[in-house]
Amino acid sequence: MSASPGLSARAQVLLDAVEHRRRLLQHGLALLGVVLLLASGAAFLQTRGVSATGSVAAVLAIVAIASGLRMKIRWTVPYRGHEIRFENHPIRGEALLIDGVTCDRGRIGLWNRLQGVVPSGDGAGDLITAESEAGLFAFRCRILAEPAPR
């Protein structure tokens, strides 16, 4: 991930992490579901109708695909008494939350940047930036905090 244009040198890196296991599960379950759907179709064609094998494969395919589409990749970091959370959802895209409140939402894509401002308390006015890079085998997230001018 490259340097963050637009952020000052005062920006503090709160998180720089890569998730492999959950990313592989997201894609692996979707791929397994597609393979099982093809197997169920082949079983139905072979028997020229509904078969127990084809039906079981179809149900397992739906379960695998649904499981992969429900799996989130998320990180939570503390910042000056606040909880900063980044979430990636395969369908809804990405979200940046500060103290449980969504402050920015992204879209599905390879590179995204989400930003929000700490609303109150210690660090009020500080800019929080989450940058993400979605790869086939890994998902990377970098969360930065830039103090507000005081």
Q: Compare 7 and 122 and report the one with higher pLDDT.
A: 122
Alpha-carbon distances of 110 from 62, 88, 102, 130, 136, rounded to whole Å? 26, 12, 21, 14, 10
The reported pLDDT for the residue numbered 10 is 84
The reported pLDDT for the residue numbered 3 is 45
Tens of pLDDT, residue by residue over 130-145, are: 999 999 999 999 999 9
Share of the chain above pLDDT 90, in %: 77
Tens of pLDDT, residue by residue over 74-119, are: 999 999 999 999 999 988 889 999 999 999 998 777 899 999 999 9
pLDDT at 40 over 50: yes
What is the C-alpha to C-alpha distance for residues 106 and 129, in angstroms, rounded to an integer?
12
